[in-house]
Structures are given as C-alpha cells and as structure tokens.
Structure 1
Amino acid sequence: MSGQPPRQSLFTRTAAAAAALLLAVALVPAAILLPTPPAAAAEQSVPVMVVLDASGSMMQDDAPGLRIDAAKSAVKKLIGAVPDSARMGLMVYGTGTDSALSSKTAGCADIRTLAPVGAVDKAALTTAVDGIKASGYTPVGASLRAASEALAGVKGPRSIILVSDGIDTCAPPAACDVAKELAAAGTELSIHSIGFKVDASARAELECIATATGGTYSDARDAAALTDELTIRTTRAIGVYEAQGTPITGGSSPADAPLLSAGQYLDVLEKGSEKNSTAEAGSTRYYKVQLAPGERAHAAATLLVPRRGETDTSGTAYLSVSFVDAQDESCLLQDTEHANSNQSFLFPPTAALSTPALGEDAGDKCFGADGKGEAFLKVERSGNWAWTKELPVELLFATEPAGDTKGLPDAYPASLPPVVPAPGGTAAPVTGGPSYNTAAELKPGLFSDSLLGAETKFYKIPVGYGQRLSFKATVTADGASAGAVGKSLNLALFNPLRQETELARGSDKYISGNSLVYTFIRTGDSLAASMAVPVRYNNRNSKDTGIELIAYPGGYYLAASLEDGSTVDVGSELAFDLAIDVSGDAENGPLLNAAEATAEPTLAPSGQPSAAALADTPQAASTSDSAGPLSWGLGIAGLLAAAAGIFVLLRRRSSQRKVG
C-alpha cells in the first residue's frame, strides 16, 4: 500500500435539494426536510407550562403601551417560534375578577388554563391569547402549584416559565415557599422567572423562586426585552434543538443585530470580495447573543457554495465567525474561526466557534467577571469564488449552562494510543446520508457502502461519557473514471457541534490535520483511526484544542469523501467496508440538555447519567435550561438547497485560529 497526505484539510461533499424545493419550503421549518419523525422529537422535548400575569397592574401604560399588550405580543411571537415537536401549555391568572378587596377570595383562585401541556395548536392558542383581559389579583404561589399539577403526569424533567410584573398579592402561601416545596418534592421541576418592569421586592421574590428550583431569573424592562426573554427562556426550557432553517436577516452592524435564541437559521450573504483574500470583506452580518452567568455559546456558520461548473470564476470562498462587542471590537484574544473552499473542490466552508463560560475568566472582554453576557456573532464572507453571487449561509446557535464538575474525572492530558476495530461477520449494506441531517445512524458493527467521485457521505454514531469511537474503512472495489488523474479517500470525525474532532496520533500514517487522507487508493487498502481520547466533560478544560472538543456526548459524525481529479462531478465509484467500534467504560457527567433532531445543540446539565444510557440512542444538543438527552446533529443542522438547480455541495473544512 502506498499513499501520501496531499493537503491539510478535510474534503467532504454533500448533495443538497433542488432550488424549486427550497422555494417551496422557504417559509417552512427545515425540520420538514429532515428524516427524524416528529413523534420522536416530541417524546424527547421537555414539557413546559408558561404562566402569564394578567393582573390589574398589567394595565399600566409604560411598556411602552399597555403592559398586557406587550405580554400578549410576546406570547404570540413565542407561539410562532416554538418547534412543532414542542410540548407547551399556557396558564394565565388575573382575568376573571377585578382588584377590589371584596374580590380577593375569587381573585386568588382565578387561574385559567388556556392550553394544556402538549402539542401546540398555534392558531387556536394565538386566538386565545388575543382574548386575554387583565384585571385581577396576582396569585403567584397558587399558579405555581397549579402549573406543577398540570405537569404531574409527565415523567422526567419539566419546566415552568413565569412572567410577572409584581409581587404575589395572595400570599400566604409565599410564592418562594411554594417553589421550595416543589423542589423538595423531587419532581425534576425547574422554574424560570421573568420580571417585567418589577420593583426590588418583586425581583427578590422571582429570583428566590428561580433559585429554589434550579431555574433562571431575568429582567425585562420593556416590551422588546420581554419578547426576547420569553422566547429564549421557553425555547431553552423545551429542550428541543431542531434544524429549523428559520429565515433571518442579520444586522449590518451590532446596533441592528437580531437576537439569536438557540436554533438554526438561514440568511444570505450577498457577495464575496473581488480580491481573493480575507483582507477585503464582502458581506458581513451581525447577530446578538445574550448569556447568563456560567453559560457558554456555540455557533457555526456554513456557506452553501456553487458546485463545479456553476461559476466561471476560480479562487477561494472564505467564511469566518467571531464574537465582538457593541463597538465591533473582538471579544477575545483568539476568537476567530476561518474556513475556506477552493473552487476546484467545491466545499461549503463551515466555521465554528465557542465562547468561554460567562464569568470564568476575569480577563475576557465580553465574557469576564464584569461581562454582562452580551456579545455579537459576526459572520463574514470574502474571497473571489463566485463573489458576485448571493449565497445562502446556514447558522447554528446553541447555549450551554454551567455544569457541576464536582467528582468528575479530569481532562485527558494527552492523546491515547489508537484502537483498530476488527469486527467479524458479513458487512451489512448501508447508505450514508448526503448531509449531517440525513446521516445514516450506526452502532458498532461492520457495514458496506460506496462513494462516487466528489461525493461525501455522513454516518452518525452515538458516543457517551467515557466512550471512544474507532473506525476503519477498507476498499473493496475501485472503479475507473476516464477523467480521473488521481483519487483521495478522506475520512474525518465531527463532534455533535460539527467541530472537527482530533484523531489519535498513530491512528494511521496518512493523517492530514485531523482527517485521514489516502491517495492512489486500490482494492484492499484501508484507513483506520480512533478519537484522540474518550468523551469526558472536563475535556473542555484541556490545553489541547483537539481534546477540548471531545467533551460532548451524543451523535458523532463520520464523514467519508472521495475526491478524484476528474473534470466531471461523478467520476469513479469506490466501494468500501466500514467497521465501527465504540469502546470504554461508562463515566458520569452532567446531562447536557437536548432533544433528538437532525440538527442539534443549548446544552444544560442536570444530574449525572451514565454514558451507557446516553449511548443507547443517537443524541443531539439542545436549547434548554433543564435536562434532557443530548443529541447533536444540528444535530447543530442540515445543509440545505440553494440557487437554481441542485447544488451538489463539496465541503472542505480548513479552520484556523488567529489572534484578534
């Protein structure tokens, strides 16, 4: 066997849908294009009851406008934003009586369920919200009990989102005492409270409610802030991180940046740069990011580039993501991730970046001890490949609450020796998917598949805490291509956040960067590798960047790509057997909140589940502040169709850090 590593990059290819299909579903969540059944996603979502204050004080005209009108608008926008697989209900108090003393007994029992927890009938619920009239008392404690009872029939984690503009006017029982009782009952219930234009007393009560149940508290000083906070808190609590592909238009500066809540979005970058360089920016977009203490943010952007023959220009398309402050200055010393795609190989560039935990490092400009948690995701396109064409960009955003690391194993100090899988038996036929979203889900075993020239296939393998993925591809048949001048088989591994995962040194002598690359392949040749180390929560604290990324349990993506030098897209076909092994003893680690969706991550820790439990099903990163299984396939999410015709996308990740 002979070969050589020709590049320092991974080459992958993915087939996308036709433009006609994209136009047909432009306003439909991208999850419709994905294979995960809605029922499966719904079963994994965390049930949430939203409790809305409609007491007499909500008639104050200072939101601007009436407070109740601002609250109703925020709820209606939330209804439109939650995924179809969400399980959400809505309660309201204060609508049935006035605020007179004679009405107190009735007013303190005035709690109404507009929608039980379950699938959201968006049209009916929106109509019900329109009919809300604010007039009565503020039975916060009683409403928390009622919401808890409404969630009592659901097993596992559950959440309440409470929006109030004042203190409980019906105590006793004191609202915070009720929250403590619910927490002591061990019902896996968390309450996230939002104070809408509250005074110090109401703020203290709402903070106490959240703290008692392991939830979060946030202030909303006006209508816009209420809309933002309600959407963020609820979508995180739901725990579903689905690839929505929701249309969004980024700001031209931090000042007009839209707020990102966890999910996946589609935007457009109008142009690249006439010069083939990152020094000259083409299109730039900004998106606002808001973190709570201890939280991290994860972001990824994928540029969907034209396939071979669809543009006459040569050169390179560049994409970068970074976090900046309101003055457009870099937040961190090293916070820019670059990706590029050479026209010859047609890779959609993907750049991914994570923030430190808010408050972790006093020296961080945006995320230090004095940081307010506000930053802006900056996405830039440059380079002269198809630079005059508008290109879609897919954005993935997730947040991750702080995890309790007490008693957890330390990060691995260095890469471990590789393990080569050697399963016996006959290979089972499998067809890899053309994107992360449609990746074939595999468990340990032996499989067979094939690749055409310039094609990439994806396979998704669940890996839990303490576990390590190893793989081996063996060529079983190599077809000929008249236009081929040389072929390369590429294998690379990505974590649930789509960050390229470090492979153990010594896995194979053809490692190039973090990917396996072998040229001039023949029947019988093979490529094998292991993750550098097993998954471990504290790996994120490693000084080794590669090990740092092997910290997330869930669906890991193995990408297999065949490059040939032909002048046509399809070229030769190569058949191979793929051996998969997941080894290692299960370890404890925080449960990172998530729900299965073909797109994936907000992460939220809660408890210490075993790796074996996490490995039983493919997992995805989520968007919630409460616990659920982790399954990233945003899994962080899908590569969608773009422009006219079918984009056959070839993905090359060539990322590097630079000092900002």
Structure 2
Amino acid sequence: MVTGRTTYRGIAVLAALAAVPILPGAVGVASADAVPHYRMAEGATKTEGSSSAAHAPQLKPGLHTDSIKRGEQKWYAVNLDARTSAYFSAVAAPPPGTKVEDYGDKLTLTVQDSDGTTCGSEARPSFNGGGMAYPIADYATRRIGADRTECQKAGPYYLVITREGSATSGPDTWPLELNYLNEPPLEGNTPAKPGKGLWSTATPAPRTDTTKRSAKGGTGFNDAGSVATGVWKDRIRPGETRFYRVPVDWGQRLNLSAELPNATSAKATGFLPRVLGLSVHNPARGVVGNPSFVSYTGKPAAAKEFTAPVDYGNRFDSTGSVNAMRFAGWYYLEVSLHPDAAQYFPEAAELTLRVDVRGTAKPGPGYAEPTRVFSVTPEDRETAEKGQSAQEASKSGTLMTVAYAGIGTGVVLLVGLGAWTLVARRSAAGAAATPAGPGTAGGPGGQPSLPEQSTDSTQQALQNRQFGPPQGW
C-alpha cells in the first residue's frame, strides 16, 4: 500500500540524490567534451549581426546572443540619447578544446556614430593562456562627458564587432553574448580623477583565514558563484574556466589570489609556463587589466590581482586597469586551468580562492536615476556571504515570498475559521433560547423559560456547529 508517508520518503530520496554534487573528481581524465561550456543567459534575445550598417539589427538594452566566424565583421544598430552613457560588451566563448593562438585570435569592438566616427577607444580582448580556449570579454562605450567632443548627440549609432585570427588557428565559429547597459547621468557635479598617491599600488599579502568555505564557480557571467571576503575552496578541471562574483562598493578594492596545491604524484614532472589564469571584470563586463597566468612545476602556485579602489573619476585615467574600476557593483573573477595540467591533476585540482574586499564603502556619486547594476545592496552582500549564484539567490527570494504568502493565507483561514465558529455558536445559542411556542410563559424575573428538550431549530444549530457553517455564510 502506498501511503502519504511513503510518497514523502520517495520525494526526499530523489531530492537528496539531486542535491549530491557531481564533483570533477568523480569523472575520469578531463576531456574537452567533459568540461562545461559557457552558459548563455536565460531569456537572452537571439540576434544576427549584419555585414553592413544598412541592414544592422536593432539592439535594445539587455542581453543578446549571436555567433561569429574567423575574419567576420558584424554590425548592430542602437539609438542613443544625449545624456546617458552606454556600454556594449561582447563575450566570445569558444568551446573548451578549441584551437586558439595567443594574442592572434581576438575580437575588436567599436561604437560608431552615423558619420563613421569612433566613440572613444576600441576594445581588443584576446587570448594569452598558452593556447587555451576560454571566454574573453570586454566592452566599447559611448560615454557622455564634458571632456568628450565626439559622439555626444542623440541619434543612431552602431556597435561593430570584428573577429581576427590567423589561418593556423581553429576555424570554429565562436558563440557570442552581447550586453547593452545604460549608465544614468549624475545629479550633481562630476567627480574628478583621483590624484596620484591617494592609494597604494603595493600588493598586500593575501588573506590567511584558517577556515575555507565552499564556493561554487559557474561557467560564465550568468551563473557565477558569489563569494565575499574570506578564503574559499572549489575544484577545477584541466581545460576548465570557472567564474565567481563579489560585490565591491564605492571606495573599495580587491586583493585576490587563486592558488593550486602541490602535486601529490611523484611521477608527474615538467614545466608548464602558463597553466593557471586569473582575470577580473567589472559590472559592465569590462576587463580590469590583463589576465594573470602563472607557471606550474608541481609546487604550489598562485595567480594574483590587486585593483584600484572603485571611483567614478577613474574613467578619466589613461591606465586601463584603473579606468575599468569606475563603478560599484558585482565584479567577476575568471579562473582558468590549462588542459596540460592534466599531467599533474588527471581528474581535477583543488582550487583555493583568497578574496579580500579592502576599504570602507563610501557614498556613490549620485546618479539621477536608480541603477541596480552599478550599486551594492545589503541583499548583494548577504548573497555573497552565502556563496549563492544569481539563480540561487533569486530562487531563495521566490521561496521566501511563497512562504510569506502561505503564512498570510494561513492567517486568513484561521481568522475565517474563528469567525465561522463564532457565528455557529451564536446561532446555536439563539436557537436554544427560542420559546417552544406562542404564548409560552416567562420564568421568574420575567426571563423566558428554557424548554426541557431541544427543539428542531436547536438541533439544526448544533449540527451546523459540527458539520459546516450556516448556509450562505
């Protein structure tokens, strides 16, 4: 016999099995097919860039997907106003195992007005991980500012993306993910570029917390696992890239270290020149400096990054790594492990991530409109402390909403039940006090006499109390 308890037990078993993580160590030697691919954003708009401005598809703010071949150039059209800065990022995500050449295979991104004038500088994200294929990303922008002269008017503009590469690299088509973000204007005065010497450029020592918390790296920007200040542990397969995100507020900066342990097998030997990579991207997916790739010889190795403090005025700095630290929000950490690391870590390597958000959060520059992307909320910090991805945080929030709704519904039902009970009791009491017939004499003191036995109406009231509310309640 299948009972409710049996059903619940079956559901619990299935839930427990679903919750068991499939660790990289549970599979054999990592292969390109086994390594997870970049996860595109759910709900992203599929588009197809044209080869000329005349037929360029119109982009709206948000996420879009496309693909690009070697030597191909794609055009996209946008309509911009005269007060809002716009950021256009592109993520090229060739599948793991794709053949790429360092510095030779790359994208070029520009924003142009209808006259063909380039707005600001172009972006040129490229590979430099020893021939490893991993997601590369950066942005081009149309920025509004008193220091700019070109591209300040409202009208039609174009995002132009070109893929460069030599004939010796892989001919595979690369998936593309585009992100179009608007940054509102400021209410007050524009902050100036921070002066030199206001912050130290000497990289401090990494954190040494004795407790390591578990992190869950994602495949890209969309499913990146959240982390906060502290020491985190994860596993990474050879050929894999894992993404993490951390909230960084105005005035704060990042001190990061991604580490591999020593190899436990004495049989594995050899020098790997560029095996572990670490790079940082800002909330608009702009790269913060160049990715840091380090070598490995079987001894512990660490890739490190130390950023400038977040400041609105950093956008006026000519140094790329400082220029990118221009707004608060979620910053993304990209960690890559070269496929050649399989000789030391056939299945997966233990990864230690030391995250240190340094500095006290300061008030923002004062945007004229609310902006969720370029800000840090208490909910963001809570999500980071819990190590949740954006999807997990959203699901958790939805479950809490359902729980609160359930509590509210329960309260309404209890109130309704109480009201019905009160009505039923009053009905029973009123029926019991009804005289047996016309002209019944009153009792002592003028009070009506109670009958010795219940009348039909009294019995009906009692039934109502037991089996249901009065009809029409």
- What TM-score, normalized to structure 1? 0.46
CA–CA separation in structure 2 for the residues paired with 1:393 and 1:579: 30
1:356 maps to amino acid: R
Report if aligned partners of 2:41, 2:63 keep a CA contact under 8 Å in 1: no
Is contact 2:37–2:219 with CA below 8 Å preserved after alignment? yes
Instruction: Tell me the residue number matched to 2:293.
Output: 517
Is the partner of 2:321 in helix, strand or coil? Answer: helix
- CA deviations 1:375-412 (Å, max 9, x no partner) are 10011123236665443322111111212353857535
Q: Aligned letter for 1:375? A: Y
Identity in percent = 22
Give the C-alpha shift of residue 265 in structure 1. Answer: 0.8
The answer (yes or no) to whether the contact 1:464–1:553 under 8 Å persists in 2 is yes
Query: How does 1:308-457 map onto structure 2 within 5 Å?
Result: 308=97, 316-326=104-114, 329-332=116-119, 334-341=120-127, 344-357=131-144, 360-361=146-147, 363-364=149-150, 367-368=151-152, 371-383=153-165, 384=167, 389-406=172-189, 410-413=193-196, 416=200, 417-457=202-242
Q: Which amino acid aligns with 2:146?
A: E
Equivalent residue runs for 1:136-175 within 5 Å:
none
What is aligned with 2:447? none
Is contact 2:100–2:132 with CA below 8 Å preserved after alignment?
no
Tell me the amino acid that sits aligned with residue 338 of structure 1.
R
One-letter amino acid matched to 2:255: S
Q: Given residue 381 of structure 1, which amino acid in structure 2 is its aligned partner?
A: R
* In the alignment, structure 1 residue 246 sits paired with structure 2 residue 34: no
**Residue 593 of structure 1: CA displacement?**
4.2
Residue 188 of structure 1: aligned partner: none
What is the rounded CA distance, in whole Å, between the counterparts of 1:313 and 1:560 in structure 2? 19
Checking the alignment, whether the CA contact within 8 Å between 1:479 and 1:573 is kept in structure 2 is: no
3-state SS of paired residue (2:310): coil
Q: Is the 8 A contact 2:245 2:331 kept in 1?
A: yes
Q: 1:524 to 1:570 in 2, by over 3 A?
A: closer
Q: Identify which of 493, 501, 505 aligns with 2:280.
A: 493
Asked whether 1:261 is paired with 2:282, we answer: no
Per-residue CA deviation, residues 175-215 of structure 1 (Å, 9 max, x unaligned), is xxxxxxxxxxxxxxxxxxxxxxxxxxxxxxxxxxxxxxxxx
Instruction: Mark the CA change 1:346 to 1:544 in structure 2 (over 3 Å): closer, same or farther.
Output: closer
Change (3 A) 1:617 1:501: farther
State the SS of the aligned residue for 2:36: strand
Q: Is the 8 A contact 2:96 2:240 kept in 1?
A: no
Q: Which residue of 2 aligns with 1:544?
A: 319
Partner of 1:344, secondary structure, is: coil
| Cα distance, 1:496 vs structure 2 | 1.2
- Paired residues of 1:317 and 1:340 also in contact (CA < 8 A): yes
Q: Distance in 2 between matches of 1:299 and 1:474?
A: 32
Residue by residue over 1:406-446, the C-alpha shift from the partner in whole angstroms, topping out at 9 and shown as x without a partner, is 38575353662333343433212323222222211111122
Runs of 5+ in structure 1 lacking a partner?
1-12, 23-29, 33-243, 273-281, 503-513, 596-600, 604-608, 620-631, 635-660
Answering whether residue 415 of structure 2 is matched by residue 616 of structure 1, we say no
2:360 aligned residue (585, 592, 610): 585
Partner secondary structure for residue 124 of structure 2: strand
Any unmatched runs of 5+ in structure 2?
1-33, 392-473
Distance 2:96 2:262 in 1: 27
Q: What count of residue pairs does the alignment treat as equivalent?
A: 346
AA matched with 1:491: L
Q: For the structure 1 residues 479 and 303, does the alpha-carbon distance in structure 2 shift closer, same or farther, using more than 3 Å as the test?
A: farther
- 2:415 corresponds in structure 1 to none
The residue identity in structure 1 corresponding to 2:241 is T
| TM-score calculated relative to the size of structure 2 | 0.63
Report deviation, 1:556: 0.9
Instruction: Give the secondary structure class of the aligned counterpart of 1:287.
Output: strand
CA distance in 2, matches of 1:362, 1:501: 22
When the two chains are superposed, the root-mean-square deviation of aligned CA atoms in Å is 3.8
Give 1 or 2 for the bigger CA radius of gyration. 2
State whether residues 320 and 339 of structure 1, in contact with CA within 8 Å, keep that contact through their aligned partners in structure 2: yes
| Alpha-carbon separation, structure 2, partners of 1:320 and 1:633 | 29
Residue by residue, what CA displacement relative to the aligned partner does 1:623-650 show, whole Å, maximum 9, x if unpaired?
A: xxxxxxxxx989xxxxxxxxxxxxxxxx
How far residue 449 of structure 1 moved from its aligned partner, in angstroms, is: 2.0
User: Judging changes above 3 Å, is the alpha-carbon distance between structure 1 residues 582 and 315 closer, same or farther for their aligned structure 2 residues?
Assistant: closer
Offset at residue 543 of structure 1 (A): 3.3
Counterpart residue number, 1:285 = 74
Alignment-mate amino acid for residue 516 of structure 1: S
For residues 553-593 of structure 1, what are the alpha-carbon distances to aligned partners after superposition, in whole Å with 9 as ceiling and x for unaligned? 11111222222536999856432432222121221113574
Q: Identify which of 329, 352, 357 aligns with 1:554.
A: 329
Equivalent position SS for 1:547 = helix
Check whether the contact 2:104–2:126 (CA below 8 A) recurs between aligned residues.
yes
Q: Distance in 1 between matches of 2:216 and 2:314?
A: 32
Deviation at 1:551, TM superposition (A): 1.4
Q: What residue identity is the alignment partner of 2:114?
A: A
Aligned to 2:90: 301
CA contact 1:482–1:571 (8 Å) conserved in 2: no
Quick one: distance in 1 between partners of 2:264 and 2:371?
42
C-alpha contact 1:14 1:434 (8 A) present in aligned 2:
no
Deviation at 1:482, TM superposition (A): 6.1
- Residue matched to 2:409: none
Q: Which amino acid aligns with 1:246?
A: T
In the alignment, the residues of structure 1 paired with residue 110 and residue 296 of structure 2 have an alpha-carbon distance, to the nearest angstrom, of 38
The reply to whether residue 565 of structure 1 matches residue 336 of structure 2 is no
Deviation at 1:341, TM superposition (A): 4.0
Whole-angstrom CA distance in 1 between matches of 2:192 and 2:101: 51
Question: Using CA pairs below 8 Å that are at least 6 residues apart, which structure has the higher relative contact order?
Answer: 1
**Deviation (angstroms), 1:527:** 4.3
Say whether the 8 Å CA contact 2:226–2:245 is kept in structure 1: yes
1:499 aligned partner, one-letter code: G
- 1:307-340 deviation line (CA, Å, top 9, x unaligned): 42x679999533211122335x3424x5322233
Distance 2:195 2:244 in 1: 26
Letter in 2 for 1:350: A
